[in-house]
Amino acid sequence: MAENATKFVPEWLKLTTQQYMSTEVSSDHKNTSVTDNFPPPLLISFEIALVVMMVSGTIGNVLVITAICKTKKLRIWPNALLVNMALADLGVCIMVIPTMLRRNLPNAVPHVSLFWCRTAFYLNIIFCGVSLGTLYCISFTRYVLITKPKHVYLKYCTQTGTILILVWVWTSTTSLTFLPLLGFGTIEYFYALNGCHIKEDDSLSWWYMTLLLLLGVLSCVVIIPSAYILIFIRIHKSRKRVQDTKEYSHQGSDGGRNRISKRREQYLSKEELAVTRMMVIACVAFTICWLPFTLNHLLSYSSLKGPLASRVASLFAVAHSVCNPIIYAGMNPIFREAFRNVLSCK
């Protein structure tokens, strides 16, 4: 019965866990990769998706950087965080995605240099880590801006504060990325991936990747939503205070105060909706992009894991670099106007 069932399983899905986790290329596969066993329509779909993400992500992140540099209203120090995130996402689009494109090509030759293979892996971790770290900082600055007095916001979001935040993001990310160089984990070439990855059959390496995911993904799923929820609660309380002020002004004869209260209520209502929409979209996009990668890692010792699952998970992960310009810049009316000016060469 079991033998008959395997007849319906495609050959490119029959890679065992031991074969998948193999770091050696046999003499029969020195000039081929596991990609050669994938059906052509699947390979074409992967390539099209990667090309679309590379082009759209490059354009979107360059547009964000150019808009901030050319628009006077946007040339403020807090927006340096957006520039930093755009630079990291741009690195993913122009340096990481091309290596994924090469790996998915039919008859792709394995990496001839383990050094460059590992370098591509480290760059991927650094760029994605910096992008995620910047998301922490953006949620923190927006929380301080809305929920704290103005002098507190000015204290942390000045030139010095922003520079310190950027230095911390790059330093912490780089330090965690290069832990394998100190013996905490091993980066090796994998035939099934036609590229380098954590050697997950080694317990120390598995814990290294788990540490990265805990710090970068799972904690971010908690921190960022919590920050926006607190912002929403604060705005909701402010709206209630404005409504109370409006009711009080109705009892008096001061029509001007009534009009001011009404305008403030409308402003807070729009802000509440905008923050809610931002929170939902950011959390959903982040979860969709990084959850497959996290689950794929946690199943590293399971027979469910294979080359197809790893490629799909990586595809979703790099897609996050395309989403960031849309979520954190495209939804802002000032940025939309700046984008139009840049595209029209004004």
Q: Which domain holds residue 208?
A: 2-343
Backbone angles phi, psi at 23, to 5 degrees: -105, 10
Helices 114-147, 159-177: axis angle to 10 degrees equals 150
Q: Which of 308, 270, 226, 297 is nearest to 35 (CA)?
A: 308
The runs of H, that is alpha helices, within 105-254 are 114-147, 150-156, 159-177, 203-213, 219-251
Amino acid at the residue 124: N
Which 8-state DSSP code applies to residue 304? Answer: T
Q: Which of 30, 34, 9 is nearest to 19 (CA)?
A: 34
Integer Cα distance of 181 and 305 in angstroms: 27
Direct distance between the N- and C-terminal alpha carbons of the chain, in angstroms, rounded to an integer: 70
Domain count, the chain: 1
User: What pLDDT score does 135 carry?
Assistant: 81
User: What pLDDT score does 91 carry?
Assistant: 93
Q: What is the CATH classification number for the domain harbouring 268?
A: 1.20.1070.10
Residue whose token pair is 């046999």: 26
Q: Concatenated DSSP letters for 87-123?
A: HHHHHIIIIIHHHHHHHHSTTPPPPS-HHHHHHHHHH
Asked whether the beta carbons of 77 and 159 are under 8 A apart, the reply is: yes
Integer Cα distance of 2 and 7 in angstroms: 9
3 state DSSP class of 8: coil
Q: How confident is the prediction along the chain (346 residues), in pLDDT tens digits per residue? A: 444 444 444 454 444 444 444 444 444 444 445 555 667 777 788 889 999 999 999 999 999 999 999 988 888 888 898 899 899 999 999 988 888 887 766 555 555 577 888 888 888 889 988 888 888 888 888 788 777 777 777 777 788 889 999 999 999 999 988 888 888 877 877 766 667 777 766 777 778 877 877 776 666 677 777 877 887 787 777 766 656 555 555 555 455 545 544 544 444 456 556 656 766 787 778 778 888 877 776 665 444 456 677 778 888 888 888 887 888 666 777 788 888 888 888 7
User: What pLDDT score does 66 carry?
Assistant: 93
Tell me the Ramachandran region of residue 194: left when phi exceeds 0, alpha when psi lies from -120 to 50, beta otherwise. left
User: What pLDDT score does 302 carry?
Assistant: 46
Integer Cα distance of 10 and 22 in angstroms: 20
Tokens of residue 309, six digits:
């699952």
Which 8-state DSSP code applies to residue 327? Answer: I
User: What pLDDT score does 60 carry?
Assistant: 92
Integer Cα distance of 323 and 95 in angstroms: 17
Torsional sign, CA 283, 284, 287, 290: negative
